[in-house]
Amino acid sequence: MYSVKGRDSAKHPNFNIVLFAAGFSLPTCAAQIVAALFTRIFELDYTDKVLQLMFATDMSLGEHCDPDTEMMANCAFCVFPLLSTFISVAFSGIYLAAAFAVTQRMAAAVINKLLVRRIRLMQLLVMSSMAVSLACRGCTVLFEPFELGFELLRVAHLFCLVGSVVTLCWFLVLKPVYDTHIADRALKEFARKGNSLPDPLLANPLGYAYPAQELHAMDSSTGGSMGQPAVVEEGFRERL
């Protein structure tokens, strides 16, 4: 967010991460707590079907309860009220808009077109998985607990939610770390040989293999200096 606003985020990067995480998470938690306790806070006629779907966080299903227990009267099953889903949709829209702005700025600053495609793919996967997750969660009100539709929608909601998290971790953490590891190995191999250029020197983000003609053209445009690191280093030292 600092980069989008044009501010310097290099002074306290870890503090900024914690600050923005807390600033975005606390309002969501507070709103969801209100939704969870809505039926305890406000006295309404929750026998009405519409009010029950909108605000009820549990559903009494006597046929699935053990009749021998003393807590039979309090036997209930948790459900997602529509109010909670609407809150999640509102906050998710804000978060996704902010994430889209940040990733758009990242894509605009990237020269490698294949890396831009990776960013676009990340945007598509995260937004679609979040949308499907919230849609499945909202549609659970159409069924009762233990019904096939309810269970399928709940599992789909969980998988889509986990998928969005895994997608973010892969594109923003795991893949860059892996690319850095590959590039580090290539540089070490380059230093060990001392007279040859890896193909390519840095691992391409999408595994694109540069043709030999393209590498030869790059080498020719630099006067063959790409394949002669010792000559370049010697000339640099002479200028110093």
Cα separation values, 28 from 21, 52, 92, 126, Å: 11, 22, 9, 19
Residue closest to 199 by CA, chosen among 213, 212, 182: 212
| CA angle (187 as vertex; 183, 192 as ends), nearest 5 | 150
Query: How confident is the prediction for the chain on average, in pLDDT?
Result: 77
Tens-digit pLDDT profile for residues 123-134: 999 999 999 999
Q: State yes or no: pLDDT of 2 exceeds 90.
A: no
Q: How many CB atoms lie within 10 A of CB 150?
A: 19
Assign 63 a pLDDT band (cuts: 50, 70, 90). Answer: low
Could you read off the pLDDT of 183-207 as tens digits, one per residue? Answer: 888 888 877 876 555 555 455 544 4
Average pLDDT, integer, range 156-184? 91
pLDDT of residue 236: 39
* pLDDT value for 229: 44
Degrees to nearest 5, angle at CA 150 with 146 and 152? 105
Q: Which of 83 and 145 is assigned the larger pLDDT? A: 83
> Please, which residues bridge with residue 58 across strands?
78
Q: What is the pLDDT of residues 132-142, one digit of tens each?
A: 999 999 999 88
Residue 125: CB atoms within 10 Å: 17
* Annotated domain spans of the chain: 2-62+72-183, 184-239
**Amino acid (one-letter) located at 89:** V
